[in-house]
Amino acid sequence: MDISLLLQFFINGCMLGMMYALVAVGFTLFFGVLDVIVFSHGDSVMVGAFAGLTFYLLGVYAVPGLPVWASAFFVFLAGMAFVAGAGMLISRFVIMPLRAAPALNTLLATMMLGTVMREAVRLFFPDGSNPKPFPRLLPDWSWKFGDVLLRFDNLALFVAGCLLIVGVAMLINHTRLGMAIRAVAQDAEAAQIMGVNFPLIVLATFAIGSAVAAFAGLMNGLYYNEINFNLGLLLGAIGFSSAVIGGLGNVYGAILGGFVFAFLQVVGTVAMPFSSAYKDVFAFGVVIVLMAIFPTGILSERQSQRV
């Protein structure tokens, strides 16, 4: 196999990995503070993409001739804010009431919620059951290195994704809010006793995680130039897998997991060129094997059980 094709695969892998990592960060954050898997998170990604599209159309309609940079900025900001709000509503009305329920109930409830979101977009978004073209918000510059094509928008998205992840990490590790989130993640009860406003922290965490998910959704739209109501299911499963591979509750693990999953898909594509559809069979198969070898993830979750 020639080197330029490999490089192209590498670039694709990086883009996918960034997207998965962004989704996985949400899963792992929510699990950290509340010990729940919010499976509708994948559909938050989808809602983010659709919200972005809607805001773009609204923006074009309201302010014709808006410069490209401004509209891209506006779409990202509005989409992320919208999904952050939705995430807060979800945490307030679905997740918090189920705190005392068995883990399975929460998992199923959020899956059902995901279906509600998915179906709502399919049924109520104009012509929602068909794929929608996603606008090109970024200039389509590209550079050619031999046979390798490096697109400017990919590079910009990748850099922005990195910045977002670094931002989230800074927020969690170096701010008062982040300290409160970490405190709740370690011991919600003790944190409350020490004066941490637990419901507020949960809301904040959901806002952050959901905004990051919306970014991933917009990135997905820009990368594939197309979105559909169904994209959240697979992205949710992949994000969940990545978070689990990295060890739930561990932000760096989630990022690692995202890139590992993307890497697996790329390897699947390279190893089985006869049908690229097998790449998911391969990737999920490896996830199952990984789970058998590392039952609590590669960067293992801290385990404590009181008997």
Beta strands in 47-197 (DSSP E): 132-133, 142-145, 148-151
Q: Binder to another protein among 64, 126, 273, 295 (CB under 8 A)?
A: 295
Report in angstroms how near the CB of residue 285 gets to another protein at its nearest.
6
Q: Is the torsion defined by CA of 265, 268, 272, 277 positive or negative? A: negative
Site for another protein (CB under 8 A): which residue of 115, 130, 161, 271? Answer: 115
Give CA 214 to chain center in angstroms.
Answer: 7
Chain position carrying tokens 């945490």: 91
Residue 47's closest CA among 223, 218, 168, 222?
A: 218
**CA contacts within 13 A on the Cβ side of 28:** 35
**151 strand-pairing partners:** 142
Locate 303 and state its tokens.
Answer: 């385990």
* 221, 227 contact by CB (below 8 A): yes
Segment interacting with another protein (CB under 8 A) among 46-54, 83-91, 203-211, 275-283:
275-283
Query: Using CB under 8 A, which of 72, 84, 94, 227 touches another protein?
Result: 94
Q: How far apart are CA 271 and CA 164, in angstroms?
A: 32
Among 154, 241, 265, 269, binds another protein (CB under 8 A): 241
Dist. CA 35–CA 30, nearest whole Å: 7
Q: At closest approach, how far in Å is the CB of 24 from another protein? A: 12
Q: Which is nearer to another protein, 138 or 284 (CB)?
A: 284
Is 139 one of the binding residues for another protein (CB under 8 A)? Answer: no
Answer for which of 57, 101, 190, 200 binds another protein (CB under 8 A) is 101
Pairing, β 142-145 against β 226-227: unpaired
| CB 151, min distance to another protein, A | 28
- Using CB under 8 A as the binding rule, whether residue 252 contacts another protein is answered as no
Q: Which of residues 143-202 bind another protein (CB under 8 A)?
A: none
Residue carrying structure tokens 């995430």 = 87
Would you say 60 or 277 has its CB closer to another protein?
Answer: 277
Closer residue to another protein, CB minimum distance, 195 or 305: 305
What residues have CB less than 8 Å from 50, skipping those under 6 apart?
A: 121, 125, 132, 217, 227, 229
Residue range at the interface with another protein (CB under 8 A); choices 18-26, 118-126, 137-145, 190-198: 118-126
With contacts defined by CB under 8 A, name the span among 6-14, 79-87, 153-161, 285-293 that binds another protein. 285-293
Cα–Cα distance measured from residue 216 to residue 16, given in angstroms and rounded to the nearest whole number:
10
Using the contact rule CB under 8 A, the part of the chain among 64-72, 102-110, 131-139, 251-259 near another protein is 102-110
Shortest distance in whole angstroms from residue 220 CB to another protein = 18
Show Cβ contacts of residue 103 under 8 Å, excluding neighbours closer than 6 positions.
35, 36, 37
17 vs 79 by CB, closer to another protein: 17
Question: Which positions touch another protein (CB under 8 A)?
Answer: 31, 37, 94, 97-98, 101, 103-105, 107-109, 111-113, 115-116, 119-120, 123, 233-234, 237, 240-241, 244, 248, 275, 277-278, 280-281, 284-285, 287-289, 291-292, 295-297, 305-307
